[in-house]
Amino acid sequence: MKIRHVVLIGLTAVAFPLASMADEGMSPAASVEFVDNEGEVVGQGSIEQGTAGVLINFSIDGLDEGWKAIHIHSVGTCDDPEEGFQASGGHLNPDDSKHGYLNPEGPDAGDLPNFYVHGDGTAMVEMFNERASLDGSVGGNMLDDDGSALVIHENPDDHMTQPIGGAGARVACGVVQGG
């Protein structure tokens, strides 16, 4: 049996089985596995469709300490780690919005908040994006014909500078896998 959620009630853990989402009328879900510029796996995560966007959860182990930008990129490939994941294209941006939460003409569908990697190289992150979806019901469709990728940058995003908020090089990438 696969476990979907574990909930602590007092000191007792209660596991809820992972049922087929289609069987229960649940929203789509996706997974992501991050690789670094050497092609080594450095993290994993999940994306769940909500009624008004997507909930993104992931953990990282192996990046340099500090604030990092993460964006949803428009092409679902991370096959070029030695080239800095350029094949994943630009941000998911079906409305041709400007980049950045602080930009009066933004944000684009690929913009996400920054997160912090601790001194031991780890981070556990949960964030919500109301401008993207897994099924095309809200904003940019992360699982369209060419898919999408979550791309982590070496620096934080200033949420204004075009096109990526001064976030710097792409240091990790994960293809969004539906199903």
DSSP string, the chain: --EEEEEEETTEEEEEE---TTTTTPPPEEEEEEEETTS-EEEEEEEEEETTEEEEEEEEESPPSEEE-EEEESS-----GGGTSGGG-SB--TT-PPS-TT-TT---TTB---EEE-TTSEEEEEEEETTEESSSSSSEETTSTT--EEEEESS---SSSTTTTT--SEEEEEEEEE-
**Average pLDDT value for the chain:** 88
Residues contacting 3, CB < 8 A, separation 6+: 15, 16, 17, 18
Predicted local distance difference test score (pLDDT) of residue 152: 98
Residue 23 — very low, low, confident or very high, per pLDDT cuts 50/70/90? very low
Q: What is the mean pLDDT of residues 61-75?
A: 97
**Domain residue spans of the chain:** 26-178
Classify domain 26-178 at the CATH topology level.
Immunoglobulin-like (2.60.40)
Least confident of 13-22, 62-71, 82-91, 121-130: 13-22
In the chain, the percentage of residues whose pLDDT exceeds 90 is: 83
0.75 exceeded by pTM: yes
What is the reported pLDDT for 28? 73
User: What integer is the mean pLDDT of 37-45?
Assistant: 97
Residue 179: pLDDT band with limits 50, 70, 90: confident
DSSP states of 68-113 as a string?
E-EEEESS-----GGGTSGGG-SB--TT-PPS-TT-TT---TTB--
Mean pLDDT over residues 127-154, rounded?
A: 96
Q: Which two tokens stand for residue 78?
A: 């991370």
Pairing verdict, β 140-141 and 132-133:
parallel
Q: Tell me the pLDDT band of 6, cut-offs 50, 70 and 90.
A: very low
**CA 178 – CA 21 distance, rounded (Å):** 12
pLDDT at 109 exceeding the cut of 80: yes
Q: Which two tokens stand for residue 74?
A: 């428009």
Whether 125 shows a pLDDT value over 90: the answer reads yes
